[in-house]
Structure 1
Amino acid sequence: MPEIVAADRIDGTGFSPRPARARRQDDNHGMAHPARTRDLDVVVYGATGFAGALVAAHLATHAPDGVRIGLAGRSVEKLHEVRTRLDVDWPLLVADAEDPAALDDLATAAHVVATTVGPFARHGRPLVRACATNGTDYVDLAGEVLFARQSIDDNHEAARESGARIVHSCGFDSVPSDLGVHVLYQQVAADGAGELTDTTLVVTRLRGGFSGGTVDTIRHQLDTVRGDRALRRIAASPYSLSPSRDDEPDLGRQDDYATLDGSTVDGSLRGRLAPFLMAPYNTRVVRRTNALRGYAYGREFRYREAMSVGASPLSTVYAGGLKAGLGAMALGLSLRPTRYVLDRLLPRPGTGPDEKTRRGGHFTCDLFTTTSTGARYTARVRAKGDPGYQATAVMLGEAALALALDRDALPPTPGGVLTPATGIGDAYVTRLRAAGMELSARRLDKS
């Protein structure tokens, strides 16, 4: 049992978790407001970590009055420190990530669990299972292909049965990508301009730190696939998160880690485009969205991502150097002697930049597509705040609030392991816009 601690007491007598349910009593395929049958609306799991504390801080200042929020983690002392720092009276819930019974109780105490406890392949599977089984909506910051694939295989049917929406990747991985294509598709559909074909997201502006959690995730995935050819094939497949590879259209080779000439994407782009670190994961999320929607984007929808390194004559050198550097980092983390050195140079898990640096960050992602009728469209996703920390805390916090409060605006679905677009959709877009994020789309060639 997790220790459920009342806001004013640390003795485990605050309230008791509800008994588990076979199906959520408030679920109506996402089309009705939930009855408030559980003690809490949202629980932030991992609230004592760097990212989790940022999510909790966002909710403390932006959640509407009356939303019942809890803080969860392993240490009641550290949770108490977070609660005191935030100056809130939220309940504290104590549960270890490796204790299935405690996680079941945690899941049944809330309508939505938002977790930042990663790497998720190492620490996240029992919590996903508890939420899928108990009809509890779930959001996280996962950017791990193998974890997401395993979660789909293990939990999709259970979540459909219970009505739970399991939504991975509600941070910089992969909200700009998934919701960017979502709003792009909506504009094309509203104009009756056909289906999406060649579509590219370009990170045109980016300022932020390199997350220690991201480094740890890369390290863990490299360790997982070492010596396992089957897992390497799954990690390398562009359709590794699709419901069925056999149903995917044959679009030829899709290189998710290539350098590109900007002019081949759009005439407004100059110079060489570099590979984007997160593209090998984000692209798979977007392809899963298209498949879950019955290929609404189009059977000829091809998607890729890249990053601008400037328009100078040296952009080719910069792009090639960045690609080589990312490859060298992956190789270095794979080899014991070089990993020893890199582990001391790269950011550590649970650490991050100070508040001034976090608030000074920003990102802009521009998407370009050509439709099946030949029309050209663009979309923009832009936000202030360090992408991996400040902006991500907003994205995860608003995902949890949308699931808890905006049931009538959610996409109709019986549940399952979903994506930001298919699990939260327009309700998510609306909340992120209200929080200051730009999500826009327009036609380029309209006379």
Structure 2
Amino acid sequence: MSNESDPRPEPGGGTQEAAPPSSKSREPGRELDVVVYGATGFVGRLVAAHLAEHAPEGVRLGLAGRNRGRLEAIRNGLGSGAADWPMLIADATDDASMDVLARSARVVISTVGPYARYGLPLVRACAEAGTDYVDLTGEVLFHRESIDRHHETAVRTGARIVHSCGFDSVPSDLGVYRLYRKAAEDGSGELTDTTLVVSDLRGGISGGTVDSLRMQIDAMKKDKQARRIGLSPYSLSPDSAAEPDVGRQSDAAIVRGADVAVGLGGFLPPFFMGPYNTRVVRRSAALLGHAYGRRFRYREVMAVGSSPLSLLPAAAVTAGMGGLVAGLGFGPTRAVLDRVLPAPGEGPKEKARANGRFAVDVYATTSGGARYRSRVAAHGDPGYAATAVMLGESALALALDRAAAPETAGVLTPATGIGAALAERLRARGFTLEVERR
């Protein structure tokens, strides 16, 4: 993997709701503050609706996609406040349209996946134009290619390319980042063993998520280098050779609750999004100059019960995750799964999205022996309703709270590219973000 320049973002302080940028501060030629690319897709519509309802007055918003008629239909459904939002016709297969899109806005939101198929042209355009960019990818191969191709360009132009600003991987990344900040403020030492536990989860899955998984499985089957990247715990790190030697880090092991935190019972299977989230968190640690600690170890698991009998559902969950991946990788079983899994463009219905929720608890022990817990929780389907809030607020933080965000550029993570500014915005939207010493 390539060595990157280390932007070393400073762990900045809090932020506040900023006023829309004045005309003097707006860059010439930047017609918009935030534009949603892929606004006619499932998540894109939700993000556009969130911005229409919650963006401060005066923020210049726009929609982008391939089909003007469908964009108009989406805009018409957003209410009178969106009636004059500009619409940009853009297609990932047309580099010129990507360049126009990137130059039109201060921040571009991309919801067009699978990102391995459609994402890189817009990342390239934003990096070259010095335009901030956010997405909701959970694709490790795309993220790695984005780093290798466009990190240095973004550093040079000042662009903040912030991947994974949805349920992948904001709760994980901010949960650990806030633990680090609290331990540092307390003088309690560096983080050592750190575990995220998904303590509550209710939500659905979309066809786009399934399609992204299919593409990654296919790529790893065909290419040894892709398989090596996909399996490495440090596949998103700036320089994997410079990572501290903390022993084997497994993303597929069942662990005892008592080994995670005092009072936590039962057995905990791996969280199905952990193989990606853990790599994002480890990238954050590296971009911060390993400030989390040279003995920082991180994993993600999920609660399935507190009794000794929870070993049975934990084993079933672990086997089910492996079975799904194996099934999608084998032609005959993939054909069967494709008939029952949601197709691209499909996702949970409105009632299911509203009734969803999530809560994650991150437990850590410091080098000084102190124990901490951080919690990130929200109402709404985590992958869609809550993700729309996280993605929309990430873009608004970059557009409006830039002075409060870390001073850095390049291909970043939510913690290193937005940090405390995003945490404050999410709290204002009803998210729970807590840190306590135990």
Shift in Å at residue 248 of structure 1? 0.5
Shift in Å at residue 362 of structure 1? 0.4
Q: 1:173 maps to which residue?
A: 168
Matched, 1:49 2:41: yes
Shift in Å at residue 350 of structure 1? 1.3
**Structure 1 residue runs of 4+, over 6 Å off?**
30-34
Shift in Å at residue 432 of structure 1? 0.7
Q: 2:426 maps to which residue?
A: 432
The one-letter code of the counterpart of 1:286 is: V
Shift in Å at residue 369 of structure 1? 0.5
What secondary structure, in the 3-state scheme, does the structure 2 residue paired with 1:368 have? strand
Q: 1:442 maps to which residue?
A: 436
Q: 1:328 maps to which residue?
A: 323
Q: 2:417 maps to which residue?
A: 423
| From 49, 54, 70, the counterpart of 2:62 | 70
Deviations 1:119-172 (CA, angstroms, capped at 9, x unpaired): 100110100000000000000001011100000000000001110000000000
| Mapping for residues 267-346 of structure 1, pairs under 5 Å | 267-346=262-341
Whether the 8 Å contact between 2:175 and 2:362 is mirrored in structure 1 is yes
Deviations 1:74-114 (CA, angstroms, capped at 9, x unpaired): 10000000000112121111111111110000000000000
Whole-angstrom distance in 2 between the partners of 1:224 and 1:144: 11
What secondary structure, in the 3-state scheme, does the structure 2 residue paired with 1:86 have? coil
What secondary structure, in the 3-state scheme, does the structure 2 residue paired with 1:93 have? strand
Shift in Å at residue 297 of structure 1? 0.5
Q: 1:183 maps to which residue?
A: 178
Whole-angstrom distance in 2 between the partners of 1:76 and 1:125: 23
Whole-angstrom distance in 1 between the partners of 2:31 and 2:107: 11
Whether the 8 Å contact between 2:133 and 2:161 is mirrored in structure 1 is yes
Q: 1:5 maps to which residue?
A: none
> For the aligned residues, what is the CA RMSD?
1.4
> Which ranges in structure 2 are unaligned for 5 or more consecutive residues?
1-11
Matched, 1:137 2:132: yes
Matched, 1:127 2:122: yes
Whole-angstrom distance in 2 between the partners of 1:311 and 1:350: 37
Whole-angstrom distance in 1 between the partners of 2:314 and 2:205: 18
Whole-angstrom distance in 2 between the partners of 1:227 and 1:158: 29
Q: 2:5 maps to which residue?
A: none
% of aligned pairs identical?
Answer: 64
| From 236, 239, 251, the counterpart of 1:256 | 251
Deviations 1:52-72 (CA, angstroms, capped at 9, x unpaired): 000000000000000000001
Deviations 1:9-57 (CA, angstroms, capped at 9, x unpaired): xxxxxxxxxxxxxxxxxxxxx9997821210000000000010000000
Matched, 1:36 2:31: no
Shift in Å at residue 310 of structure 1? 1.4
| Mapping for residues 353-368 of structure 1, pairs under 5 Å | 353-368=348-363
| Mapping for residues 172-251 of structure 1, pairs under 5 Å | 172-251=167-246
**TM-score, scaled relative to structure 1:** 0.91
Whole-angstrom distance in 2 between the partners of 1:150 and 1:127: 13
The one-letter code of the counterpart of 1:55 is: V
**TM-score, scaled relative to structure 2:** 0.93
Whether the 8 Å contact between 2:205 and 2:348 is mirrored in structure 1 is no
Matched, 1:351 2:346: yes
| Mapping for residues 353-392 of structure 1, pairs under 5 Å | 353-392=348-387
Whether the 8 Å contact between 2:171 and 2:360 is mirrored in structure 1 is yes
Q: 2:153 maps to which residue?
A: 158
Q: 1:7 maps to which residue?
A: none
Whole-angstrom distance in 2 between the partners of 1:313 and 1:367: 22
Count matched residues: 414
Deviations 1:264-307 (CA, angstroms, capped at 9, x unpaired): 10122211101101101000000000100001100100000000
What secondary structure, in the 3-state scheme, does the structure 1 residue paired with 2:69 have? helix
* Mean CA deviation greater in 395-404 or 212-221: 212-221
The one-letter code of the counterpart of 2:229 is: I
Shift in Å at residue 397 of structure 1? 0.1
Q: 2:6 maps to which residue?
A: none
Q: 1:93 maps to which residue?
A: 88
Whole-angstrom distance in 2 between the partners of 1:214 and 1:259: 24
Q: 1:15 maps to which residue?
A: none
Whole-angstrom distance in 1 between the partners of 2:131 and 2:261: 43
Shift in Å at residue 312 of structure 1? 3.7
What secondary structure, in the 3-state scheme, does the structure 1 residue paired with 2:361 have? strand
| Mapping for residues 389-404 of structure 1, pairs under 5 Å | 389-404=384-399
> Which ranges in structure 1 are unaligned for 5 or more consecutive residues?
1-29
Whole-angstrom distance in 2 between the partners of 1:314 and 1:375: 30
Whole-angstrom distance in 1 between the partners of 2:127 and 2:303: 39
* Mean CA deviation greater in 129-138 or 224-233: 224-233
Whole-angstrom distance in 2 between the partners of 1:210 and 1:259: 24
Shift in Å at residue 313 of structure 1? 4.0
The one-letter code of the counterpart of 1:324 is: A
Shift in Å at residue 311 of structure 1? 1.8
Whole-angstrom distance in 1 between the partners of 2:33 and 2:156: 21
What secondary structure, in the 3-state scheme, does the structure 2 residue paired with 1:378 have? strand
